Structure 1
Amino acid sequence: MSTFTGTGRLILFILRRDRIRMTVWTLSLVGSMFMVIPTLADMFATPEQRMARATIMETPTGIVFGGPGYGLEEYGLGAMVANEMTQSLLVALAVMGILHVVRHTRAEEESGRAELLRANVLGSSAQITAALVTNALVSGAIGALITVSMVVNGLPLADSAAYGAGLALAGVVFGAVAAVCAQVSGYARGASGLAFLVIGVLFMFRVVGDIAERGGSAPSWFSPFAWVQQTRAFDDLRWWPLALYVLVIAVLFAVAYVLADRRDLGAGLVAARPGPAGAGPLLNGVLALHLRQQRASIIAWTVAVALFALAFGTLVTEIDGMAEQNPEIMARMGLTGEGMIEAFLGVLTLYIVMPTAAFAVLSVLRTRAEEDSGRAELVLSAAVGRLRWMGSAVLVSALSGMVMMFLGGLVMGVGAASVTGDTAWIRVVAEAGAAQIPVVLMFAGLTTLFLGVAPRLVGLVWAWFAYGLFVTIFGLLMDLPDWMVHVGPFEIVALLPTEEFAPVPYLAVLAGAVAAAAVGLAGFRRRDLVTA
């Protein structure tokens, strides 16, 4: 029997098992590109408006979020799309690839399902191959459809093809990184965390290299986040940087297979260290246990939100230039008059709420993973009540989200104060962040509600979150009706300092979050535990 025996059937099984996930990822990324291209064409219709946008892309913040900035001398639509969308698409592909590959390799071993499959006619390399192939298939589909979306919107075929191919190859690289990390760690959570750490370091290489020199410097070339834009699509197209993806993919695949052959099934190359014989004072109780289990993700998300908030705060110096070059667009966004900076910071506050709310959902969802794996059943078999166990997890999520939201506003105020010299912004923006805390708690409460009452429907929380992202980002630009915008989760409470503080919606959302969590906890207490 070959080590690849059964790979084809396993590929078909994964495609069927993850058909909804893959479809959602594909439609989300491709749909975003379909909508963004005509939106940017309308927003920046004149050469003057496009050059004003190019000036922003030359700032440090623009480089962080946009890349090296090719084509800024004569800023056309294609170059604008590449600069505006590439890094966001690459981050999304990295998240997709890591979650997919770890889910079908290390998580399968951790759950014991891989051992059951291996007991039948399935080669030792079939699972890792199937995971990598299916990730490559969905990445290739996304890249191809993005190419089509560009061509349909009038962008050159060759440049669009190079850009789509770069995205697809980058997605394969990110999946291969996850495959290597899955051999190192003995746990899915550890493999995912290690892979995200590697991706974060690679992203910072790109940032440092692009900031050091216009068009990128030596550190940039060590990062797959740079190679797509180094093709200089829609400026001075060159195909050879894509060969770097092919080379790295070959190396990572080889390393993953070699490492997989050197370890036992279910074990990682790095053995888990035995813990202390007795628990310390900081690990006394269920609340402390949940906090310890999530400490790494809490720290990582908080640092990431703080860094983005600081970068957002420094953008206030660009507001006058944007208002002069794009008065119509700024007016549609409410960024006019003497309170322009306040309105601008209010809009940016929403981009702190979004990742914090996502963290709150993921934090509560960890209880579902504990339940599926059977670990929750072990804990609850001791002298630990269901309300205490689940309630402690929700409390950790709520407290972490509150701290993250307030700190994000505070740091964004520090960024604004550092470039304007006015320290009053620190207090103003910190209050704006605090005013959005009920939104974060609402997502934690809704997730608890669905987990307790209808776990299979918890995806509705993500659906509402995605809807909120869409109407918040594209609502004004696409002239969506007001009712569609206000139904979104990020438009419920007053947006300080742009709007006056309204206590009634604030307290109503807060009360709704508490009520949803209470109903969810009651439902969790009554329903049966379910293990995967």
Structure 2
Amino acid sequence: MNALTGTGTLVRFMLRRDRLRLSVWVLALVGMVAASVPALDDMFTTDAERQSRAALMETPTGIVFGGPGYGLEDYQLGPMLVNELTMTVLIALAVLNVLHVVRHTRAEEENGRAELLRAAPVGPGAQPAAALATAALVDLLIGVSTSVSLIFFGLPTADSLAYGVGLGLAGIVFAAITAVCTQIFEHGRTAAGTAFLVVGVLFMARVVGDIARTGGNALSWLSPFAWVQQARPFDALEWWPLALYPVAAVVLFVLAHVLAGRRDLGAGLIAARPGPSGAGPLLRGILALHLRQQRGMVFAWSAGVFVLTFAFGSLAPEVESMVETNPDLAAFLGDDTEDLVGGFLGTIGLYALMGTGALSALSVLRARSEESAGRAELVLATAVGRVRWLGSALIVAVLATVLTTALGGLGLGLGTAVTLEDGAWIGRMTGATLAGLPAALVFGALVALLFGTAPRLVPLVWVWLGYSVFMTMLGALLGVPEAVMDASAFEILPAPPGEEAEAVPFLLYLAVVLLAGAAGLAGFGRRDLATD
């Protein structure tokens, strides 16, 4: 038996186990791209309309979520598709691959199933290899299906193939990054959080490089987010940048395989420190237990959000210089750079809220995992009531969400204040980000509601979060009716500083969050444990 014995069997098992989950991902991503092609074609029918859209892609916000902007001189359907959708698809692929690899590697070791598998004729490297193989199959299926859909709509064949293959290869790199993280850390949540942090840093490297120089500089080329667009599909196609993906994937896979041989099953390369012999004052009580269980995840998310928003805030001078040095852009957007900077920062603040919304849901889901693992039953067998146990978990989720949201706004304001030498931005952006706090808290409240009343429906929270992110990012671009867009959690409140905050909608939204949390507590107090 060698290290990869049993890989084929595990691949088939993983595909069968996740057939519904992966099918939804494939249909959603391919369907989004396929639906965007006719939508973009119908929305921008004249050269003047397309060039007006191209001017928006030259703004800082356009570069952040559009890339280096190839093909803007003659903005036809192909370049429009690449600039408008690539970053959204790549971010979704990163989420898919991080969650998939952690689910089938580190999470399996945590719950003990990996040890049962290793008792069979399964090599030590079979499980991570199978996780990467299944992720690669899904990524390539998404890429090839995307290419076929673009060819179907009449776009050039070679460019369509390059674009789809580039997307699929990028997903494989994200999976390989996660495989390395799962070898380093003992817990699945920490490994996933670290992988997302690495992905965020790589995204930020691409942003800084693309803003610093037209077409990107050397920093941009360090990021896998850049390579598919640097191949310049539908503009001046070059295949060689796509070769960077398999090179990076192979190097990362070999690194993960080597690291896997240097640790024990169930352990990480960074060993967990032994706890104190006696519990201190801060470790006593059920609230302290929830805080301790989630401290790593909360620290990673809050630090990551702060670092990324600070980096985006530090780009404020680039926003000003773009308008000052580009007369056409100034004529299109106006020369009020303060409003332009505020709009750019408001957009970044909105994306920070999307991240804190995911944190809010994950924090409450920790209670669900404690129940599923049987640990909640042991705690509740002591002098701890159900409402107290779940209520403490909700308090931790609220504190984590508020802290991360505030740090996101602080990072934006501090980065802007340092680079523009105007301290007023600190308070302005912190307040603006906190004005959207209910939009982040609502996902944790919905998890609590479903956890207490219908636990099997908890995955619907992720459906709504994905829907909200998609509508907020692409709804207006695709011409989605306003009534449909308003179902997004992030469209309910005004988005300062570009829009004026309103107290009444904020308080009503917050009241809905509180009612959902209270209903979840009441439901959990009545249902049986470990039931759906």
Tell which deviates more after alignment, 10-19 or 30-39. 30-39
Question: Structure 1 residues 72, 487: closer, same or farther in 2, change over 3 A?
Answer: closer
Give yes or no for the alignment of 1:291 onto 2:291.
yes
Give yes or no for the alignment of 1:396 onto 2:366.
no
- The 1-side partners of 2:46 and 2:409 are apart by 35
- State the match for 1:512 in structure 2: 512
- The 2-side partners of 1:36 and 1:326 are apart by 25
- The 2-side partners of 1:471 and 1:77 are apart by 21
- State the match for 1:190 in structure 2: 190
Question: Structure 1 residues 304, 287: closer, same or farther in 2, change over 3 A?
Answer: same
- The 2-side partners of 1:53 and 1:226 are apart by 21
Report the Cα offset of residue 451 of structure 1: 0.9
- The 1-side partners of 2:219 and 2:250 are apart by 21
- State the match for 1:335 in structure 2: none
- State the match for 1:81 in structure 2: 81
Task: Tell me, yes or no, if the aligned pair for 2:471 and 2:488 is still in contact at 8 Å.
Answer: yes
Task: Tell me, yes or no, if the aligned pair for 1:228 and 1:242 is still in contact at 8 Å.
Answer: yes
Give yes or no for the alignment of 1:264 onto 2:261.
no
- State the match for 2:358 in structure 1: 358
- The 1-side partners of 2:401 and 2:83 are apart by 31
Q: What amino acid maps onto 1:166 in structure 2?
A: G
Report the Cα offset of residue 322 of structure 1: 7.2
**Residues 427-455 of structure 1: CA distance to partner in whole angstroms, max 9, x if unpaired?**
66655544433333332221101111111
User: 3-state SS of the aligned residue for 2:192?
Assistant: helix
User: 3-state SS of the aligned residue for 1:489?
Assistant: coil
Question: Structure 1 residues 417, 25: closer, same or farther in 2, change over 3 A?
Answer: same
- State the match for 2:463 in structure 1: 463
**Residues 184-232 of structure 1: CA distance to partner in whole angstroms, max 9, x if unpaired?**
3222223223333433343344344444443333333433222212212
- The 1-side partners of 2:133 and 2:399 are apart by 40
Q: What amino acid maps onto 2:275 in structure 1?
A: G
Task: Tell me, yes or no, if the aligned pair for 2:197 and 2:304 is still in contact at 8 Å.
Answer: no
- The 2-side partners of 1:455 and 1:325 are apart by 50
Question: Structure 1 residues 376, 322: closer, same or farther in 2, change over 3 A?
Answer: farther
- State the match for 1:96 in structure 2: 96
Q: How does 1:332-351 map to 2 (within 5 A)?
A: 350-351=350-351
- The 1-side partners of 2:457 and 2:435 are apart by 29
Question: Structure 1 residues 201, 279: closer, same or farther in 2, change over 3 A?
Answer: farther
Question: Structure 1 residues 316, 387: closer, same or farther in 2, change over 3 A?
Answer: farther
- State the match for 2:368 in structure 1: 368
Question: Structure 1 residues 75, 485: closer, same or farther in 2, change over 3 A?
Answer: closer
Report the Cα offset of residue 81 of structure 1: 2.4
- The 1-side partners of 2:55 and 2:421 are apart by 22
Report the Cα offset of residue 238 of structure 1: 1.5
Question: Structure 1 residues 296, 493: closer, same or farther in 2, change over 3 A?
Answer: same
Identity of aligned residues (%): 55
Q: What amino acid maps onto 1:510 in structure 2?
A: L
Report the Cα offset of residue 167 of structure 1: 1.3
Question: Structure 1 residues 247, 435: closer, same or farther in 2, change over 3 A?
Answer: closer
Give yes or no for the alignment of 1:202 onto 2:164.
no
Task: Tell me, yes or no, if the aligned pair for 1:53 and 1:322 is still in contact at 8 Å.
Answer: no
Give yes or no for the alignment of 1:255 onto 2:251.
no
Unaligned runs of 5+ in 2: none
Q: Quote the RMSD (CA, aligned, Å).
A: 3.8
Question: Structure 1 residues 301, 44: closer, same or farther in 2, change over 3 A?
Answer: farther
Q: How does 1:211-222 map to 2 (within 5 A)?
A: 211-222=211-222
- State the match for 2:144 in structure 1: 144
- The 1-side partners of 2:499 and 2:72 are apart by 35
**Residues 413-434 of structure 1: CA distance to partner in whole angstroms, max 9, x if unpaired?**
6778899999877666655544
Report the Cα offset of residue 267 of structure 1: 2.6
Q: How many corresponding residue pairs?
A: 523
- State the match for 1:527 in structure 2: 527
Q: What amino acid maps onto 2:6 in structure 1?
A: G
- The 1-side partners of 2:201 and 2:427 are apart by 32
- The 2-side partners of 1:240 and 1:230 are apart by 9
Question: Structure 1 residues 326, 156: closer, same or farther in 2, change over 3 A?
Answer: farther
TM-score of the two chains, using structure 2 as the length reference:
0.84
Task: Tell me, yes or no, if the aligned pair for 2:286 and 2:392 is still in contact at 8 Å.
Answer: yes
Task: Tell me, yes or no, if the aligned pair for 1:97 and 1:172 is still in contact at 8 Å.
Answer: yes
- State the match for 2:173 in structure 1: 173
- The 1-side partners of 2:265 and 2:414 are apart by 50
Q: What amino acid maps onto 2:34 in structure 1?
A: F
- The 1-side partners of 2:184 and 2:398 are apart by 32
Unaligned runs of 5+ in 1: 328-338
User: 3-state SS of the aligned residue for 2:240?
Assistant: coil
User: 3-state SS of the aligned residue for 1:490?
Assistant: coil
**Residues 277-305 of structure 1: CA distance to partner in whole angstroms, max 9, x if unpaired?**
34455444332333343334334434554
Report the Cα offset of residue 51 of structure 1: 4.2
TM-score of the two chains, using structure 1 as the length reference:
0.84
Task: Tell me, yes or no, if the aligned pair for 1:316 and 1:416 is still in contact at 8 Å.
Answer: no
Report the Cα offset of residue 171 of structure 1: 1.1
Question: Structure 1 residues 393, 3: closer, same or farther in 2, change over 3 A?
Answer: same
Report the Cα offset of residue 112 of structure 1: 0.8
- The 1-side partners of 2:219 and 2:346 are apart by 35
Report the Cα offset of residue 102 of structure 1: 1.6
User: 3-state SS of the aligned residue for 1:241?
Assistant: helix
Task: Tell me, yes or no, if the aligned pair for 2:417 and 2:425 is still in contact at 8 Å.
Answer: yes
Report the Cα offset of residue 141 of structure 1: 0.9
